[in-house]
Structure 1
């Protein structure tokens, strides 16, 4: 009987923590979409909440979503600049920038067809994360080749 009660209590604590983390990530993502990356990071700093890789990834996702919905290319590039600021903050805090973080950024830049910005982000990622060289080579060689050729089917696949 005691064992069941302990098990229930553990499950309740786990469910609460899991749900709380999910809701916080969604809140961070919607905040990034509405006010931008810099304001979201500043709000997290004032809340004195420990910001981890998941929160940074949510800010990046929000910025990319806002950039995709932007009517103007300059507004989209401004959001990408916000993403770059988030990457710099991550590097400054000692977080490793892995594929889960940089993949959506590179895919968005590839969708925009911005080769110069693509190389800029790749160089920044390589500096902070030497283990990602092989994976970044895939993005650089395969996807950039498809962009230059203009093969839309291969880019989507």
Structure 2
């Protein structure tokens, strides 16, 4: 009987921790969408809780969502700057920046046709993560091919 109780307690603790992480990521994502990346980073820094890559990715997703919904290009650039600040914070804290993190940013920049910003982000990512050169080449070739062909419909799609 005691073994069953111990197993139940372990399962309850695991379920609680797993659910807590999910809800925390959802909270971070909603907070980033409402307030912005800078305020979210400040709030995460003041918490005693350890912030991981998934939470940073949620903040980046919030920035991209706000940038997509922005009315003008300046507001979109401001949100992309917020995503850049998150990338800088991640690299300062020693986190590895994978395609899961930079992929959505690059796809948004490709969708918007921002060539200078694209190369700026690629240079930053190459500097922090030299192993990502092969995946970055994929994004660069896709963007450059679309620009060379001049296929405006494909760039927007």
**Alignment match, 1:33:** 33
Q: What secondary structure is seen at the aligned counterpart in 1 of 2:95?
A: coil
Matches within 5 A, 1:28-107: 28-107=28-107
* 8 Å CA contact 1:110, 1:147 repeated in 2: no
| Distance in 2 between residues matched to 1:4 and 1:152, nearest whole Å | 61
Q: What secondary structure is seen at the aligned counterpart in 1 of 2:49?
A: coil
Asked if 1:141 corresponds to 2:141, the answer is yes
- Cα RMSD (Å) of the superposition? 1.6
| Distance in 1 between residues matched to 2:135 and 2:156, nearest whole Å | 17
| Distance in 1 between residues matched to 2:154 and 2:84, nearest whole Å | 29
| Distance in 2 between residues matched to 1:15 and 1:151, nearest whole Å | 48
| Distance in 2 between residues matched to 1:152 and 1:2, nearest whole Å | 66
**TM-score normalised over the length of structure 2:** 0.92
State the Cα distance separating 1:51 from its structure 2 match: 1.4
Gaps of 5+ in 1: none
State the Cα distance separating 1:148 from its structure 2 match: 3.9
Alignment deviations for residues 13-56 of structure 1 (CA, whole Å, 9 cap, x no partner): 11101110000001101111111101000011122322111111
* 8 Å CA contact 1:67, 1:80 repeated in 2: yes
Q: Number of aligned pairs?
A: 156
Q: What secondary structure is seen at the aligned counterpart in 1 of 2:127?
A: helix
Gaps of 5+ in 2: none
